[in-house]
Structure 1
Amino acid sequence: METPEWFRDALATPCSTYEVESGGVRIAVRAWGPEDAAGVVLVHGGAAHSRWWDHIAPMLGVEYRIIAVDLSGHGDSGRRPAYELSCWAREVVDAVEAARMAPRPVVVGHSMGGWVALTVGAEHDGAVGGVVVIDSPVRERSPEEVAAASRRAFGPLRTYADREHALARFHTVPEQEGNLPFVMRHVAAHSLRDTGEGWTWKFDPAIFAQPRPRPEMLGKVASRVALLRAERGLVTPAIGAQMYELLGRAAPVIELPLAGHHPMLDQPLSLITAIRTLLADWEHSAPRPRCF
C-alpha cells in the first residue's frame, strides 16, 4: 500500500523532545505545536510508546500544544522496580508542568493509557481539563495483561540478531485485521533498541504486574470524560454502558466504526476526527451535571 500524503506530512511536522524527572526516573516526551497554547496530552497503551502518536498528534490542529509521553518502563524512558497507575499518572502531570502549555490540558489515553488518564482525572483534577479514553475496558484485564499472564506474549525479552528479523516479529496484542502497513512499519521501527549484542523491544515486561483500576474509581474522576469505543475492540456496548453509569451518565460513548482495539493503526482518520470533534466541543460547552 502506498504511503498517503497526509501521513508523510504528519511525520514531517516539526517535533521537539524533552525529558523530565518524575520520582527519580527520566521520562521522555515529544511535543508539537505552539507554546502556551491549549494543551493535549497523548498517553500510549501497555508495551507501546509515544511514537504510536506520531501520525495522530500533528493532525489534531495547529492551534494546540500537544505532547506524547513515554511512561516509565516504555519507549525511551527509564525503568522502575515496580509500576503503579498512580505513579504513571504523576509522570503525566510532571510532563505537563514542563510542557509550556496552557493550564488544564485534555488527556487522551489508549487502552492501559486510558486507565492512566482516568487516574490523572481522579487524583489530579486541578491539572486536567478533560479525559478522553480510547477502548479501555475498566472491568476487564487489558489484552496485554492477559497475554502476559498466559505467556503468549510479553515474557522475557528476546534478543534478535538483526533488526530486520526483529521487525518481522512485530505484532499487536490483541491482533487485529486491517492495520495500515505504513503505520505498522513506522511504529515497529521505533519499538526496538540496540543492545550492542542484538535488537530487542524497548518495554519492560514488569509493567504488566501493576494492579488494574477498580470500577468504583470512575466515580472519583472529577473532570469531564468521553469514551471512544472501537467497534471491533474490547469495550463492548455492555461495558460502555456500565462505564457510562459509573461516570454519572455524563460521559458520551462514541463508537469508532470498523476500528479494532488499536484505532491509530487501522482507522487513524476516524480517531483523529473523533478527538478533534471533542476538543472543539469542549472549548465551547459546559460539562453536563452527573447523576449518581
Structure 2
Amino acid sequence: MVLESFQVGTGDVPTVLLHGFLGSGRNLRSLAVAWTQADPRRRILLPDLTGHGQSPALPADADLSTLARDVVDTLDAQGFTGAIDWVGHSLGGRVSLSASLHASDRVGSVSLLDIAPGPVPLDLSESGFVLDILMQAPPRADNRRALRADLTGRGLSEGLSDWLLMNLVPDGDGVRWRFDRDALFRLHKRVNVEDLWPAVERPVHPPLRCIRGGRSRYVPDAAVARLEAADCPVTFLPDAGHFVHVDSAQAVLAWLMA
C-alpha cells in the first residue's frame, strides 16, 4: 500500500522519518528541514503511517509489520532504493524496528526517538491516555472550537488538543475526524503488546541508537541497560519529555548528525 508522503531535501543519502501514534508526517517537518539544512546530503521521506493523516485506512488485522511493509512500498514508489536510514518517534520507532526484521535489506540503520523495543504497559502509554479521551469525544461537531472545548473539558491539555484537531476535516456545515478511531484503538492494543527485542538482540543487526527524554517513561532504566548490552547506545536528554524532537530540538539534531 502506498502512503501519503512528502519529501524534504534533495541529497543522495536516503532517509525515512516516521511519526508517532495519532500523528502525521507534518509533525516532523521542522526536524526534517533543520536536518537537511545542516546536512544537505540528506533526502528525507515523511509518510503518514497507515490509518493516519491522509494515508489509506487501516486493514482490520494491521500490526507493526503491516505498517512497515506499507512504508517500504512507499519508499519504492518514491524512488528511495537500497538500504535506508530509518528514524522513528514512538510508534514510528517501533515500525522501524519491525522493518529491520521483515525487510532487513531496506534498513541501513535505526534511530529511536524515545521508544524501547519491549511491550508498552498501558499505564505508561501517553498515547493510550490521549486515545481514551479521543474515543469519548463526539464523532463530529459544528466547529473546531466545540471539539476543542470537549477535549480540554475531558482533561486533555490545550497543546495536545490542538495537535489532535489537526486531524479534522470539513463535514457539511461542521467538522469530523479524518481517521477511524475504532481502527486506531484496535491497532494501539495490538502494537503495544508486540515484543521487538529480537530486532535488537539478534547476533547481527543494523546500527541502532536511541535517545531518551528525562521526563518520559517510555524508555525505562531496565530497557536502557538491555539496549546498551545489545550494542544500541542510549543518549539521555534530561529536560525533554516524550516529544524529544520538540522539547530539545537542537540536541536531537546534533545527535542525528553525530
Pairwise TM-score range, normalised by the shorter structure: 0.7 to 0.9
> Counterpart amino acid of 2:241?
G
Does the CA contact (< 8 Å) of 1:34 and 1:63 recur in 2? yes
Corresponding residue SS for 1:213 = coil
TM-score by length of structure 2 reads 0.80
1:40 pairs, out of 4, 15, 20, with 15
Does the CA contact (< 8 Å) of 2:134 and 2:151 recur in 1? no
- Establish whether residue 152 from structure 1 lines up as the match of residue 132 from structure 2: yes
> Alpha-carbon deviation of 1:109?
0.8
After superposition, the CA RMSD in angstroms is 2.9
> Alpha-carbon deviation of 1:168?
5.8
Greater shift after overlay, 99-108 or 254-263? 99-108
* Counterparts of 2:175 and 2:17, CA distance in 1: 27
Greater shift after overlay, 44-53 or 262-271? 262-271
> Counterpart amino acid of 2:174?
G
Does the CA contact (< 8 Å) of 2:14 and 2:85 recur in 1? yes
Identity of aligned residues (%): 25
Corresponding residue SS for 1:254 = strand
> Alpha-carbon deviation of 1:124?
1.1
* Counterparts of 1:57 and 1:152, CA distance in 2: 30
> Counterpart amino acid of 1:219?
E
Corresponding residue SS for 2:68 = helix
- Establish whether residue 115 from structure 1 lines up as the match of residue 115 from structure 2: no
Aligned length: 240
> Counterpart amino acid of 2:224?
G
Does the CA contact (< 8 Å) of 2:100 and 2:206 recur in 1? yes
Match of 2:108 in 1: 129
- Establish whether residue 29 from structure 1 lines up as the match of residue 5 from structure 2: yes
Match of 2:241 in 1: 260
- In structure 1, runs of 5+ residues without a counterpart are 1-21, 278-292
The verdict on how the C-alpha distance between 1:73 and 1:144 changes in structure 2, with shifts beyond 3 A counting, is farther
> Alpha-carbon deviation of 1:188?
5.2
1:202-226 CA-partner distances (Å, limit 9, x unpaired):
3333232324321542334721111
* Counterparts of 1:107 and 1:213, CA distance in 2: 19
1:177-196 to structure 2, matched below 5 A, reads 187=163, 190-196=166-172
Match of 2:251 in 1: 270
The verdict on how the C-alpha distance between 1:140 and 1:209 changes in structure 2, with shifts beyond 3 A counting, is closer
2:54 pairs, out of 72, 76, 86, with 76
- Establish whether residue 163 from structure 1 lines up as the match of residue 144 from structure 2: yes
* Counterparts of 1:115 and 1:241, CA distance in 2: 18
TM-score by length of structure 1 reads 0.72
* Counterparts of 2:201 and 2:241, CA distance in 1: 27
Does the CA contact (< 8 Å) of 1:157 and 1:200 recur in 2? no
